[in-house]
Structures are given as structure tokens and as C-alpha cells.
Homo-oligomer: A and B are copies of this chain.
Amino acid sequence: CSSGTRFPNGDGTDGEYVGFATLPNQVHRKSVKKGFDFTLMVAGESGLGKSTLVNSLFLTDMYRDRKLLNAEERITQTVEITKHVVDIEEKGVKLRLTIVDTPGFGDAVNNTECWKPVADYIDQQFEQYFRDESGLNRKNIQDNRVHCCIYFISPFGHGLRPLDVEFMRALHQRVNIVPVLAKADTLTPSEVERMKNKIREEIDHYGIRIYQFPECDSDEDEEFKLQDQALKESIPFAVIGSNTVVEAKGRRVRGRLYPWGIVEGNAMGGPVPAGTGTSRTPSPSCGPHAGGLGRGAGGAP
């Protein structure tokens, strides 16, 4: 028998059903009302398409007022941390997206310890949150902890570069690192495969602990499980970003227009020739594992 009770309204109609079966609905309504927070860090040397990928992923233009430094300014420049916040709404669900950028990373002639400002920033957010949680007013804590760090690996290196290894080693205990192979449209499919294998080997060899996507629930259907498996096997994701809309076979897509063909921006899988009808794979931050990402980061001190 049900423990729920119906409270009749004053006008005689049935009122709201009250009982624990409505809890999921309440959680759903509450989270819709409150919205979600997601803090994403992007790191990697300049020119690898970090801003472009963020814009492609969330279909926004986060860096409208960005000013690129010239070589002279970059000589004296140190790594700084910038924060861009944008409110995105999709089907009524709100997301407060914070992008933490690391301009200047790997840009200098001497890059010794250039991961340090990044590590310090992440630690500070944990500390701040810890202090806020120990305080009295725990209701309106602003959570600025970094959920995920997308690390961009140059497609031109013969595998990881020393700086890549140093960065990931210094930060893998602090944040969920998702390595991506940047600008994958500059590689042929066989080169992408070779590069991915090399990176996987080196990540293993150097004991770098990148983010492990959680197991998918056992009650998911077969197709989803296969897709999930394929996604996990394609780490590090090869990404192609674009902010320009081009026309390919009658469709308007975000892509890159080369004299020898059009490449469709693709947030995750291998390069996809435009107009072949291959569907976009889910983006890392909005995909099936977004919840997992948040949980992981929250737990680490």
C-alpha cells in the first residue's frame, strides 16, 4: 500500500500528491531551478585552438574581447589565469559555465615550473571551498573548484613533449585531466592513430593518471554500452574546432574550408569529412559522463 496521501484542495479538486515517490521530481525541479555549475579549465600552448574548441563545444563566443599578445609582450609575460563566465540555457536547463584559461602557458622561452600558477590556482579554489564549508553561512557557497582540465597536445610533436609530461604530472592529483589531440585535421587518419597510440603509451609510461570515465550502468541498452566503450577507447580524443560557418553540400556547418576539401568541426572523434552524414559525437563536458566529472573533482583535496 502507498504511503502517499492526497490532500484535497479547497475547491474540491485533487491537490498535489505528497510522498517519497515525488522525490525524484522534486530533485529534478530543484536542479532545473537552481541550474548547474561547471568549471572547465583549458591548458596547452597557445595556438592549439583552445578558445576555438570551447566556442565550438558550447556554441558561444567567449573571447570576443580577447587581445592577442605579440612575441615581445610574450617574452616578459608570465602564465596568468583568466576566468570567463557565461550562462547557457538549453531546453530550460541553465548552466553557469566558467572557463578557466591559462594564456601564456608554454609560450615563454624558459618554461620551467610554468605549471605552478595553474596548480596554485586549483589549490586555492579547494582551500576557499573548504573555508566556506567550515563557515556559518553554508547555503550560498560559490563553488569555484575546477571540475575538469582539458589539456591540449600538439599534433606536431612526436608524442608528448617534455612540457606536457611535466604539466600532467604536476596536476594529475589535483584535477581531472582529459588530454586531447589538438587540431586533428592536420593529421591523416593513420597519423592520428599512430599519435594516439604513442600518447597512450607515454601516459602509461610516465605514470600519468588521466581522468577515467566511469563505468556505464549495467542496465543501459547494448547500443549505448558499445558507444560508451568506443568513446573510452578513443582517448585521447582527437578534436577539430571551428568558429566559421561554411557550406558543405547544402548544409551549413562549422568547419574549415581548405582548397582540397571541407572539414567539419567535430568535438571528439577522429576527423570527419563534411557532408558524409556522420553524426556529431557528444562533447566531453556535456556528454553522458558530465556528472562523473563533477563528482571526481569535488572529491579530491
Contact = CB atoms under 8 A, between A and B. Distances in A.
A272 interface: yes
A71 to B, nearest CB: 5
Contact of A110 (B71, B110, B188, B263): B110
A62 interface: no
Interface string A78-119: 000000000000000000000000000001111110100000
A166 interface: yes
B72 A206 contact: yes
B273 A166 contact: no
A1 interface: no
A277 interface: no
B154 A47 contact: yes
A214 interface: no
Nearest to A69: B158
A273 B257 contact: no
A72 B166 CA distance: 10
B71 A161 contact: yes
Interface string A270-298: 01111000000000000000000000000
Contact of A162 (B75, B161, B274): B75
Given A71-B159, A71-B206, A156-B154, A274 B260 contact: yes
A227 interface: no
Contacts of A110: 109-112
B261 A74 contact: no
B185 A186 contact: yes
A158 B263 contact: no
A139 to B, nearest CB: 44
Given A72-B206, A109-B111, A183 B156 contact: yes
A231 interface: no
Contacts of A163: 109
Contacts of A259: 189, 261, 271-273
Given A46-B158, A48-B156, A71 B165 contact: yes
A299 interface: no
B74 A162 contact: yes
A20 to B, nearest CB: 53
Contacts of A109: 110-112, 114, 162-163, 166
A68 interface: yes
Given A107-B161, A258-B261, A259-B261, 4 more contacts: A47-B158, A71-B160, A109-B163, A258-B263
21 contacts: A47-B157, A68-B159, A71-B159, A71-B162, A71-B202, A71-B206, A72-B206, A74-B161, A74-B162, A75-B165, A107-B161, A107-B162, A109-B112, A109-B114, A109-B163, A109-B166, A110-B112, A183-B186, A188-B257, A189-B259, A259-B261
